Amino acid sequence: MSNQNNIIERLTELFNSVFEGELKVDSLTEETRLIEDIGMNSIGLLYMAMAVEEEFGVRFTNEDFVSLRTIGDVVKKIEANI
């Protein structure tokens, strides 16, 4: 399994835990859009960022929030920092 698939699998588990089934995170792909496909709002994005920071040791900047649109964007951020 590629590192990218492993990260997406971990993100799926993490999002299910953080959002307790409130969001549609069963089949995440690189193309899955955070807002349109999963249903995240600004608070959801903040919770997601905090969970990803804790799980992967990544730090998000304000600029990151402007550019995060898909799961692939999150994966790239994680890969750049591990």
Spell out the domains of the chain, with CATH numbers in brackets: 3-80 (1.10.1200.10)
Grade residue 14 by pLDDT with cuts at 50, 70 and 90. Answer: very high
Mean pLDDT over residues 1-23, rounded? 86
Helix (H, G, I), strand (E, B) or coil at 67: helix
- Say how far apart CA 54 and CA 50 lie, in whole Å: 6
Question: What mean pLDDT is reported for the chain?
Answer: 90
More confident residue, 64 or 75: 75
Residue 49: pLDDT over 60: yes
Can you give the pTM of this predicted structure? 0.88
Other CB atoms within 10 A of residue 59 CB: 11
